[in-house]
Structures are given as structure tokens and as C-alpha cells.
Amino acid sequence: MSKENSQNIIARIKAIVEEKFKSEGSGHDWFHIARVMRTAEAIGEVEGADMTLVRLGALLHDIADHKFHNHSLEEGSKQARALILEVGGDIILANEVAAIVAQVSYKGAGVATPTDSLAAAVVQDADRLDAIGAIGIARAFAYGGSKNRLLYDPAIKPQMHSNFKDYATDQGHTINHFHEKLLLLKDRMLTGEGSRLAEERHMFMEIFLNQFLEEWEG
Ligand code: ADP
Ligand code: NI
């Protein structure tokens, strides 16, 4: 594929995704996608990934959130494949991007989420970096609030989910989400640059949680 052609495809996908997410207030906003795209570009450059795949994967990674599709993980890659074809990409590119989209999601503490391309590893790391650190903390409580969840309840302990369905349907409070997902992400980064970027964000969450519990206990 020529450089102009791939730039054209990226521009058209970006326009479609921006339009869709700007008019959707359902937890994922365009700013999340834009941050993941920027982080994925930074990691992808360092790691030497295929940047067309990185950009398209980042733009399309949340195109159909499982939370709004009966926890189906296939819907996103299906829609990603269709959109790439719609804007003039070939079936090889469409399948490569669809594979990335299928491989990004976190599925529970006890569920492995392997990738089969460097671009997919880069996008998975970038998405997870946006779930940790200061922004990750803000997103977790925003999400918890949207579901009417408690901030914290010391009686309800975290669970290390061993399958995706249990993870996706868990109703626990938001502090548990740190133990069930956010604090685990640092050690599950797939790229060297992703691990490096995770360190500071991880430390910030630990400081936050210590302070939170100190204030809670009074
Ligand atoms: P992503 O967009 O990173 O793929 P999700 O769609 O799973 O992640 O969730 C969107 C945001 O909401 C993330 O920051 C995630 O950590 C947070 N989130 C997901 N599930 C919960 C939960 N049960 N409690 C609190 N925050 C959550
Ligand atoms: Ni995301």
C-alpha cells in the first residue's frame, strides 16, 4: 500500500471515529481515543512498529465497546474490518486491524491477553496506560459514578476474576477495580517503552490509594 493511500485511510477513519465519539457520552470519549492514539504513536516509534497499523488500531480499538454489546468481544473487530473496507482499505489491512481490535481489551486478572503482532502490543499498552495514573484514577471514579457504585466498602474484597464474563459483570466498588485491574497493568505491559511509561503512573496510583485509606481510617 502506498504512503498516500495509507494516510488517506487513516484520515478517513479518524474522521469517522471522531464524529461517532464526539456525539456519544457513554464513558468513552474522543479524548480517550486521541490520548491512546498519541501514546501508541510514541511507543510505536520507539519500538519500530508498523505505524499504519498502530494508528488504525488505536483509532478503532473501542469502536464497539463490549459493555454495550452484551459483552461480546467480536463486535468491535467486525465493525473495524467493515470500516477499513468501506474507506478503501484491502482485506489484508482490514483483517490485520480487526485482529488488533480483538486483542486490546482487559478481560480479568486471571485471563491472559496475548497479542500476535507488535502493533497490537503497542495499542494494548497505550490503552492500558490511559487506564492508570492520574487519568486512570479519574476515569475509574467517573465510570464507577456512572454505574452508581460506591467509592469503597472495606467489607467487599477484590476478586481475581478467572474469566471475562465474571470480570465484565462484577458490581464491586471502585477501589476494588484498582486491585482487580489497574494495579496489575504495570507488570502486564508488552513493550519495553510501555513498561517504562507505566512506572510513574503506577507509583502515583499507589500514593493515591495510601492517602485514600489513611483518610478513610481517620
Ligand atoms: P478501555 O477503554 O481502557 O479499554 P474499559 O472500556 O474497560 O477500558 O473501561 C473504560 C474506563 O473505565 C477505564 O479507565 C477502566 O479502567 C474503567 N473501568 C472499567 N470497569 C470499571 C469498574 N468496574 N470500576 C471502575 N472503573 C472501571
Ligand atoms: Ni480504550
CA of 153 to the centre of ligand 1 (A): 19
pLDDT bin (cut points 50, 70, 90) of residue 69 is confident
Q: Which is higher by pLDDT, 173 or 26?
A: 173
* 188-216 confidence digits (pLDDT tens): 999 999 999 999 999 999 999 999 999 99
Residue minimizing CA distance to atom 13 of ligand 1: 131
Q: Which are the contacts of 195, defined by CB distance < 8 A and separation ≥ 6?
A: 186, 189
Mean pLDDT for the stretch of residues 24-49 = 90
- 34 neighbors 83 (Cβ within 8 angstroms): no
Mean pLDDT for the stretch of residues 56-82 = 88
CA of 20 to the centre of ligand 1 (A): 19
Residue minimizing CA distance to atom 23 of ligand 1: 177
Share above pLDDT 90 across residues of the chain, in percent, rounded to a whole number: 89
Residue with cell 486491585: 179
Mean pLDDT for the stretch of residues 17-33 = 83
Residue 72 scores a pLDDT above 90: no
What separation in angstroms does the CA of 76 have from each of 52, 159, 181?
18, 27, 21
Mean pLDDT for the stretch of residues 45-66 = 95
Give me the pLDDT at residue 81, please.
Answer: 98
Mean pLDDT for the stretch of residues 52-75 = 87
Atom of ligand 1 nearest to the CA of 170: 23
Residue minimizing CA distance to atom 6 of ligand 1: 65
Give me the pLDDT at residue 117, please.
Answer: 98
Mean pLDDT for the stretch of residues 8-18 = 97
Q: Mean pLDDT for the chain?
A: 94
Tally Cβ neighbours within 10 Å of residue 123.
Answer: 34
Domain boundary assignment for the chain? 3-217
Fold of 3-217: Hypothetical protein af1432 (1.10.3210)
Ligand at minimal distance from the CA of 133 is: 1
* 150-181 confidence digits (pLDDT tens): 999 999 999 999 999 999 999 999 999 999 99
Give me the pLDDT at residue 26, please.
Answer: 54
* 79-137 confidence digits (pLDDT tens): 999 999 999 999 999 999 999 999 999 999 999 999 999 999 999 999 999 999 999 99
pLDDT bin (cut points 50, 70, 90) of residue 27 is low
CA of 85 to the centre of ligand 1 (A): 29
Residue with cell 480483538: 102
